[in-house]
Amino acid sequence: MEFKKSKKLFEKGLVNLVGAVNSPVRAFSSVGGNPLFIKKARGSQIIDVDGNKYVDLVLSYGPMILGHRHNKVQKAVNKALKKGYSFGASTENEIALAKIVCDAFPGMDKVRFVNSGTEAVLSGIRLARAFTGRDKIIKFSGCYHGHQDALLVAAGSGLATLSLPSSKGVPEGAVKNTLIATYNDLDSVKKHFEKHDDIAGVIIEPIGGNMGVVVPQGNFLKDLKEFIHSKGALLIADEVMTGFRSKFGGAQELLGVEADITCLGKVIGGGFPVGAYGARNEIMENVAPLGGMYQAGTLSGNPIAMVGGISTLKELKRQNPYSEFEKIGEKIENILLKAAKKYEIDLTVNRFGSMMNPFFTKLKVTNFEQAQTTDTDMFATFFWEMIKNGVFLPPSQFEAWFLSSAISKEDIATIEKAVEKSFFEIQKNHERTS
Ligand SMILES: *Cc1c(COP(=O)(O)O)cnc(C)c1O
């Protein structure tokens, strides 16, 4: 397998782009080598500029849940393009997508569309503060909520990969109202409430996806909600990654916990830039023009992006691939565990619906600290062997893999072969940890 053209483009890209990428997670910093440049994709497969074909388990970090360029989405978007790209005024499709989203999330009466997950979360946080009149926010170590200043502390994947404790350029003042707790540890939340009486809300990924996949244990989410409600604080669910991923709607319903404010992104745009935040009427009525919390956007509710979202969610609802995702996820988990056993490599696989990933550790992983016990050198070997054997993975140990409904039996066979070869190479090249 050759990567000549990617290498050339990488070098060319370095001149006018930062690291030749427009998002640091796309750089191959933690696995070595150059990032791949993509030519095109269709269904479950993605093709780089050198013509190498891969089963795509990145799926644009989540949005492409139907696979790439689903016929119905492509048709709908082509049609919308003929009517205009942006008007700065309302269109009927904004109402249509809002209805689909509110119907799918029982806790949402109203929704506001924005252009990214980052924007959704920063607005959701502002709303929690506006509604409660309090300033402080609790977040969990290892959870990522976009790149807004206030939440760029202990923020998971991108930062963990680059070993940055937090970002430069974030003034102390911007994070002075951010408190950090430990995922799956209610006591770490309670401690903050003992010290502070001005906590507006707790923001959480209901399934952690940005420290690798980390699943809430037992009644953690329910207990968390009950406790913080007793203190007058709001539960903010960041479902940018999990929304429409594990069921039609969010992880909240699946886990039996309805949040006060929900933030969405990724899948709701089907590959176009859409984010959203929503809540029950009583909370949403604080947003301008109904209330005093200002939040706006030139391209928000963009007509092409709305059609991308509507056609994706309609097809997703029709396909209802969630039980199939569960089966395929289990299959891939078993493939990984079998190879790990054969080659005597310590491995933990975390999985929830169509999100999963292996950690090269023997520890159970239920929080960020445990996730960080993974052997990232082994992951780097694993990553490149998977690439060479036709499977495109996120170039970081701390990113989730995603499944699309376009994945086929042949794709799973490709994954199985690639995993076998990768573990063989790991055994050959690494001293084992046990
Ligand atoms: C991706 C992600 C974000 C940020 O979304 P962008 O569209 O990249 O700004 C926020 N929260 C979570 C949980 C995410 O996975």
> Residues 356-405: pLDDT tens digits?
999 999 999 999 999 999 999 999 999 999 999 999 999 999 999 999 99
Q: Write the CATH number for 122.
A: 3.40.640.10
202 and 287 in a single domain? The answer is yes
pTM of the model: 0.95
75 and 224 in a single domain? The answer is yes
Active site residue 144: yes
What is the C-alpha separation between 325 and 356, in angstroms, rounded? Answer: 11
Q: Which atom of ligand 1 is nearest to the CA of 210?
A: 15
331 and 214 in a single domain? The answer is no
* Mean pLDDT, residues 137-151: 93
* Mean pLDDT, residues 266-279: 98
53 and 158 in a single domain? The answer is no
Q: If you average pLDDT over every residue of the chain, what do you get?
A: 95
Active site residue 61: no
**Any atom of ligand 1 within 6 Å of the Cβ of 121:** yes
Instruction: Kindly tell me if the per-residue pLDDT of 164 is higher than 60.
Output: no
265, 284, 319 — which closes off a domain?
319
* Mean pLDDT, residues 166-170: 82
Q: Which domain holds residue 381?
A: 4-65+321-433
Share of the chain above pLDDT 90, in %: 90
The rounded Å distance from CA 265 to ligand 1 centre is 7
The two structure tokens encoding residue 395: 């170039």
Strands ordered across the beta sheet of 234-238? 110-114, 275-279, 261-264, 234-238, 199-204, 136-140, 178-181
The rounded Å distance from CA 239 to ligand 1 centre is 9
150 and 279 in a single domain? The answer is yes
379 and 241 in a single domain? The answer is no
344 and 306 in a single domain? The answer is no
* Amino acid 163: pLDDT: 43
16 and 45 in a single domain? The answer is yes
* Mean pLDDT, residues 106-124: 97
Would you place residue 159 in the very low, low, confident or very high pLDDT band (cuts 50, 70, 90)?
low
Q: Write the CATH number for 31.
A: 3.90.1150.10
The two structure tokens encoding residue 22: 């427009």
Instruction: Kindly tell me if the per-residue pLDDT of 94 is higher than 70.
Output: yes
235 and 252 in a single domain? The answer is yes
177 and 286 in a single domain? The answer is yes
Return the minimum-mean-pLDDT range out of 87-96, 154-163, 172-181, 307-316.
Answer: 154-163
209 and 290 in a single domain? The answer is yes
**Any atom of ligand 1 within 6 Å of the Cβ of 158:** no
Query: Nearest to residue 186, comparing CAs of 367, 369, 398, 373?
Result: 367
The rounded Å distance from CA 410 to ligand 1 centre is 31
* Mean pLDDT, residues 417-429: 96
Q: How many domains does the chain have?
A: 2
What is the C-alpha separation between 26 and 157, in angstroms, rounded? Answer: 12
Would you place residue 158 in the very low, low, confident or very high pLDDT band (cuts 50, 70, 90)?
low
